[in-house]
């Protein structure tokens, strides 16, 4: 297994290099001059030249890329043109909010989708199966921005039972330990902060997790249906094992590889989808911060956040490949 992990890890290196080139060139080929956009209209030619030199934009593009690559290897993504602070530090300040929201969305998908998919497969072509398939189709079809707005209108505007913006109620003290407000509330024994953070997270987490539930339900149903017809499942049934044991213990485990594949893809999709959800619910994470950086024309910050998202996507796929070897030992042979 060690050789398999090393091989997959080395395979991710050229992907990260290609991503760095793509992100770097994409930002530099975008229309508009960041220096002229950020400096006031009264700036002189000397001011513009000084700003270019200070930000390293007066050097050849190839040299700028190698400087960027060397910094990225050291964990230095440059300094924000607007805030004047290290880009990585600004990202890490908002990473816990995005990670917390993504974790809740994925957790919702696992808790709801796998039982629903297994039940639909074990009761194939029944009313429960049709209901599960319809619910999955709705979950896949509804766009995040539309569903988020509907959530705000219904639960925030009509029913007024849940907050629709931010991470915690105004005036509720939160002792930052990890940056995950739910976990921090538990660690500090601050139940009001935990409850407030949970109420604020419900609507964006449900909005983000709905598509995960839909797609994961369909994949789970299809995978389990395919495995149920295998000979070893029929043998297990002939030995007198209950249907629940056969499905959940034998069939589900052998159907996990496509489920893990889709789940890994959905983690990346949740991270990218959080950009829209965070903007709709004014959630102070990396997604809303990216939109803010684009509006301010902070090219360094946009470049850093996009590269961070891309790197996270590659790492997630690498972890999924390693999970294959754990679930199915035949993978690394």
pLDDT tens readout for residues 300-313: 888 888 888 888 88
Q: Examine residue 242 and state whether it is found in any structural domain, yes or no.
A: yes
Question: What is the C-alpha to C-alpha distance for residues 168 and 97, in angstroms, rounded to an integer?
Answer: 11
The reported pLDDT for the residue numbered 4 is 63
Q: Examine residue 40 and state whether it is found in any structural domain, yes or no.
A: no
Return the closest-CA partner of residue 72 out of 281, 237, 310, 284: 310
Q: Per-residue DSSP letters for 28-64? A: HHSSS-HHHHHS-TT--HHHHHHHHHHHTTTS-HHHH
Lowest mean pLDDT among 101-105, 160-164, 219-223, 227-231: 227-231
Question: How many domains does the structure of the chain reveal?
Answer: 1
pLDDT beyond 80 at 326: no
Q: Examine residue 88 and state whether it is found in any structural domain, yes or no.
A: no
**% of the chain with per-residue pLDDT over 90:** 11
Question: What is the C-alpha to C-alpha distance for residues 109 and 117, in angstroms, rounded to an integer?
Answer: 11
Q: Examine residue 304 and state whether it is found in any structural domain, yes or no.
A: no
Range of the domain at 143: 94-285+310-332
> What SS3 class is residue 167?
coil
Q: Examine residue 245 and state whether it is found in any structural domain, yes or no.
A: yes
Q: Examine residue 128 and state whether it is found in any structural domain, yes or no.
A: yes
Q: Examine residue 251 and state whether it is found in any structural domain, yes or no.
A: yes
Taking residues 150-168, report their average pLDDT: 90
Residue 173: CATH number of its domain:
1.10.3720.10
86 backbone dihedrals φ, ψ, rounded to 5°:
-60, 135
The string of pLDDT tens digits covering residues 252-289 is 777 777 887 788 778 877 877 788 899 999 899 888 89
Q: Examine residue 277 and state whether it is found in any structural domain, yes or no.
A: yes
The string of pLDDT tens digits covering residues 79-108 is 888 888 888 899 999 999 999 998 999 998
């Amino acid at each position: 297994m060690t050789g398999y992990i090393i091989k997959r890890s080395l395979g991710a290196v050229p992907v990260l290099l290609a991503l760095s080139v793509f992100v770097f060139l994409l930002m530099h080929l975008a229309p508009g001059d960041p220096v002229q956009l950020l400096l006031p209209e009264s700036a002189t030619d000397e001011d513009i030249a000084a700003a270019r030199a200070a930000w390293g934009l007066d050097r050849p593009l190839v040299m700028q890329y190698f400087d960027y690559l060397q910094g990225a290897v050291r964990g230095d993504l440059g300094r924000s043109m607007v805030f004047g602070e290290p880009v990585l530090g600004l990202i890490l300040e908002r990473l816990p909010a995005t990670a917390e929201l993504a974790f809740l969305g994925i957790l919702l998908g696992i808790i709801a989708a796998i039982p629903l998919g297994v039940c639909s497969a074990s009761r194939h072509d029944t009313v429960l199966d049709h209901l599960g398939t319809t619910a999955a189709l709705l979950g896949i079809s509804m766009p995040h921005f539309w569903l988020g707005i509907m959530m705000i209108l219904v639960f925030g505007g009509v029913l007024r039972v849940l907050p629709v913006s931010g991470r915690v109620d105004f005036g509720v003290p939160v002792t930052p330990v990890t940056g995950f407000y739910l976990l921090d509330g538990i660690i500090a024994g601050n139940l009001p902060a935990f409850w407030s953070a949970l109420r604020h997270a419900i609507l964006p987490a449900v909005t983000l997790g709905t598509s995960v539930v839909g797609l994961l339900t369909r994949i789970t149903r299809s995978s389990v249906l395919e495995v149920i017809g295998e000979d070893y499942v029929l043998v297990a049934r002939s030995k007198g094992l209950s249907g629940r044991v056969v499905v959940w213990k034998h069939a589900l485990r052998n159907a996990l590889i496509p489920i893990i594949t889709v789940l890994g893809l959905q983690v990346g999709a949740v991270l990218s989808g959080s950009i829209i959800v965070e903007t709709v619910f004014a959630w102070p994470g990396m997604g809303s911060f990216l939109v803010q950086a684009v509006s301010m024309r902070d090219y360094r910050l946009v470049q850093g956040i996009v590269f961070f998202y891309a790197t996270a996507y590659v790492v997630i796929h690498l972890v999924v490949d390693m999970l294959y070897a754990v679930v199915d030992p035949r993978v690394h042979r």
